[in-house]
A and B are shown apart, each in its own frame.
Chain A
Amino acid sequence: DQQVKQNSPSLSVQEGRISILNCDYTNSMFDYFLWYKKYPAEGPTFLISISSIKDKNEDGRFTVFLNKSAKHLSLHIVPSQPGDSAVYFCAASDNTNAGKSTFGDGTTLTVKP
């Protein structure tokens, strides 16, 4: 049973527009959520996180929204830039299993100039 799901394997957007990447989870124990960006042949790079006590966290062009009742989170990138093209992973963890994050399968974002 996959506890973190990213149902869109790929997303293509035009430069300057908004990119919205979605993630669903099933484990109600998860209380900390993260987004990572990954380029080929590199390790994931931390982008932004959100604790379950919040419903929004913003950092520059990146905003993460958390809907706990729907067990859904999303990453908004505004405006999208060609350099944002990468694989984006959603991850979740709970404080009873510190150091273990459960990852989705990733969404490949392509931003077209």
Chain B
Amino acid sequence: KAGVTQTPRYLIKTRGQQVTLSCSPISGHRSVSWYQQTPGQGLQFLFEYFSETQRNKGNFPGRFSGRQFSNSRSEMNVSTLELGDSALYLCASSLLSDTQYFGPGTRLTVL
């Protein structure tokens, strides 16, 4: 089976812009979760989608949003970008919401 894929792999934006990141889960996986990793930090949970519904949400401001499509692909959107949003954004999929399998991540740089 193909693994989790994320596009784009690298992105450079400026403050105030918005960005959309995409994630395609492993075939058959219905749960998709998003995490943010900043330098020196562990992974911080953003949100989880299951069957097109947001099932869990972390402690991030409303500028961070997401959605899931009927084919389980998910997108994450960040509006009004701030310098502190520069991070590696990781998507993970799971079959039964237990073991999560991660994609390679999207490295976002905000200038």
Contact = CB atoms under 8 A, between A and B. Distances in A.
Contact of B97 (A41, A43, A44, A99): A99
A101 B90 contact: no
Interface string A28-67: 0000101010000111111001000000000000000000
Contact of B98 (A32, A43, A89): A32
Interface in A69-113: 89, 91, 93, 97-106
Contacts of A105: 40-42
B55 interface: yes
B4 A43 contact: yes
A16 B83 CA distance: 43
A99 B102 contact: no
B99 A49 contact: yes
A101 B92 CA distance: 10
A103 B88 CA distance: 15
B103 A43 contact: yes
A42 B101 contact: no
B105 interface: yes
Interface string B86-111: 00001010101111111111010000
B11 interface: no
A46 B101 contact: yes
Interface of B: 4, 6, 31, 33, 35, 40-45, 48, 50, 55-56, 58, 90, 92, 94, 96-105, 107
Given A43-B103, A100-B48, 14 more contacts: A4-B42, A46-B101, A46-B102, A49-B99, A89-B42, A91-B43, A98-B31, A99-B31, A100-B33, A100-B45, A103-B35, A103-B43, A103-B45, A106-B42
Interface of A: 4, 6, 32, 34, 36, 41-46, 49, 89, 91, 93, 97-106
